[in-house]
Amino acid sequence: MTSVLASAFLAAREGASPPEPLPGLEARLARALATARAAWPGVELDGARFVAHLARHLASDAPVEALERLELGGLYLACACAERVPAALAAFEAHLLPEVYVAVSRMKLDPLALDELRQRVRERMLVSTEDIPARLAAYPGTGPLAGWVRAAALWLARDLVRQRAGRVRSDDSGLALLVEPGDDPELAYLKTTYRAEFNAAFAQALDTLGARERNLLRLKYLDGLSIDQLGALYGVHRSSAARYVRAAQDALVEATRRRLSEQLRLTGSQLDSILRLISSQLDVSLGRLLRAHVD
């Protein structure tokens, strides 16, 4: 018995030891593939590509039996859409894009807004660029694919409503450098005095990152993708995805440090205090900054 599926699965898990003898793993993966294909007749996706996609959605410490708890049909269609299989794209249009209306039925959007929302969902889910694969590849398979699309549509609808209303908080692009009761006097002084300079340096540093680094940070901090989802999206193991994100974070903090040291007359200890603060507040700061600065 050949082990084409098992070999592709293990390669995607970066050389992990087989969780069971290869013939047993091959049979298990063949059953998963058959189940997935049965959910979408007519959508033909290479089996090795699909099981590699499955492997990237399985946590490194998860038993292979966990595959059977995933929404295999949804993962199959998502992977096929990301691979631009024509029948899969047609199935998305026919079966999943209507979920947009279900998601926003209570928001009473006008027809033009609904059309714009449908297009945003279509682009977000299906369109890939040189730096970002189609987002549908990040669908984790832990719940129905239709529900995942509805959640994305609702998030995009709220964003669309905010844009149309023109309600953007004045501090949305700033760092969360707010004085807190526990701050020592020096740190409180730095926060109060140099907040605008910190914001500018952080924004400038973000602009110096490469497109891939910016997109990784956006996907993690703005879109809320987990490391497992990023790995699936980029077709790499979760450990590689984590390294990519850490490298982007480190590059951003170091670029911020360079700009602050060039622009402000701070002592080394003061600068280190601010950089530690920025690092500790990265989740909040990047979420705000990316909304304003990353397309």
Q: Where are the domains of the chain?
A: 4-82, 86-165, 185-293
Tell me which of 212 and 95 has the higher pLDDT.
Answer: 95
Give me the half-sphere count of Cα atoms (radius 13 Å) on the Cβ side of residue 252: 31
pLDDT at 45: 96
Query: Which of residues 86 and 268 earns the better pLDDT score?
Result: 86
**Are 121 and 156 within 8 A, CB to CB?**
yes
**How high is the mean pLDDT of the chain?**
81
State residue 168's pLDDT score.
43
Residue 181 clears pLDDT 60, i.e. is over it: no
Residue 170 has pLDDT above 50, yes or no: no
Gap between the Cα atoms of 253 and 35, Å rounded: 46
Q: Is the pLDDT of residue 179 over 50?
A: no
pTM above 0.75, yes or no: no
> What pLDDT, on a 0 to 100 scale, did the predictor assign at position 283?
63
- Please give the C-alpha separations between residue 91 and each of 6, 41, 81, 269, in angstroms, as whole numbers: 28, 10, 9, 58
pLDDT at 46 > cutoff 50: yes
- 177 has a pLDDT exceeding 80: no
Statement: residue 50 has pLDDT above 90: yes
Instruction: Name the one residue in this structure whose structure tokens are 């990237």.
Output: 56
Q: Rank 128-132, 168-172, 280-284 by mean pLDDT and report only the highest.
A: 128-132
